[in-house]
């Protein structure tokens, strides 16, 4: 059960988020579906429904907040420590660069 319902502000959100994403696949198993980006260091892991490497990374490092990929202002942000969604659009440089690249490609 979530410690809070819906979305809320979270004290675990890092003050400085990675400016770029280092890869497009899970760092542990190589999967490219249902990826999660660590908003502290930029590591990419797969979701709990696959192999759970994003959660394992959070528990191992204390990097609790991640975002669903592909990044966009509408990507959900989740805190593993609070067990819930985090408020706010995802407006950091990696998001903006990825959205610009997607617009250019289409």
Contact 41, 18 (CB under 8 A): yes
pLDDT bracket for residue 70 (50, 70, 90) = confident
Reported confidence tier of residue 51, pLDDT bands at 50, 70, 90: very high
Supply the pTM of this predicted model: 0.75
Positive or negative, the CA dihedral 88, 57, 36, 44 is positive
Summarised one tens digit per residue, pLDDT across range 7-22 is: 567 888 887 777 666 6
């Amino acid at each position: 059960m979530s410690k809070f319902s819906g979305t809320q502000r979270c004290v675990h959100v890092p003050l400085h988020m990675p400016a770029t994403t280092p890869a497009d696949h899970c760092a542990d198993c190589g999967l490219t579906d249902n990826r999660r980006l660590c908003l502290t260091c930029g590591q990419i892991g797969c979701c709990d429904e696959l192999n759970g490497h994003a959660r394992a990374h959070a528990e191992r490092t204390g990097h609790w907040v991640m975002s669903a990929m592909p990044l966009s202002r509408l990507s959900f942000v989740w805190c593993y420590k609070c067990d819930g969604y985090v408020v706010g659009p995802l407006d950091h440089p990696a998001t903006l660069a990825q959205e610009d690249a997607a617009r250019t490609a289409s």
